[in-house]
Structure 1
Amino acid sequence: MTILIGWRYKVFIGSIVGVIGLALYPIAIDPMINTEKYKKNQERNRRGVAQEDIQPGNMKVWSDPFDRKKS
């Protein structure tokens, strides 16, 4: 078994970090950068669905808590 020392250790650790970054990019980073694509998909998928009808337990449909009250 070879012990990784010096630049080989750095390349090994760098490759592990790179693989994790490549795996996380389409899951976590791309949706934050390209929001329009996901908004269009959500709009298309929810077309024809009345959210009030499928809300469980007669609960109020979610609204933005930071939205300013209209007076």
Structure 2
Amino acid sequence: MVFFKGWRYATFIGGFVGFIGLTMYPIAISPMLDASQYKQIQKVTRRNLNPEQIQPGNMKVWSDPFDRKHDN
């Protein structure tokens, strides 16, 4: 069995970490940095949906819980 020592060990570990980083970038990192592509896909796919008709149990359609009411 071959054991890496010195610079070969560092190269092996660096390559392994780099490989994991390259595989994770399009899956996890890129969507977090720029979500505009996914927002556009949602607009296209949800174009003909009416949330009031498909909401189960006569429940209120989701709204932002952190949206504050302004008293003027």
- TM-score tier, shorter chain, comes to 0.7 to 0.9
Partner AA of 1:4 in structure 2: F
Task: Work out the percentage of aligned pairs sharing the same amino acid.
Answer: 59
Which secondary structure does the structure 1 equivalent of 2:42 belong to?
helix
List, as ranges, runs of 4+ consecutive aligned residues in structure 1 with deviation greater than 6 Å. Answer: none
- The structure-2 alpha-carbon separation of the partners of 1:17 and 1:48, relative to structure 1 and needing over 3 Å to count, comes to same
Specify the structure having the higher radius of gyration (Cα).
2
Corresponding position of 1:25: 25
Equivalent position of 1:64 in the other structure: 64
**RMSD between superposed Cα atoms in Å:** 1.6
Distance 1:10 1:56 in 2: 56
CA distance in 1, matches of 2:42, 2:21: 26
Where structure 1 has 5 or more consecutive residues not aligned to the other structure, the ranges are none
Instruction: Specify whether residues 50 and 9 from structure 1 end up closer, same or farther in structure 2 by C-alpha distance, changes over 3 A only.
Output: same
Compared with structure 1, are the counterparts of its residues 41 and 8 closer, same or farther at alpha carbon in structure 2 (3 Å cutoff)?
A: same
CA distance, structure 2, for counterparts of residue 48 and residue 70 of structure 1 = 32
Once the two structures are superposed, what CA deviation does each residue of 1:19-69 show, in whole Å capped at 9, x if it has no partner?
A: 111111111111122222211111111111112222333333222222222
Question: Which amino acid in 1 is paired with 2:20?
Answer: I
List alignment gaps of at least 5 residues for structure 2.
none
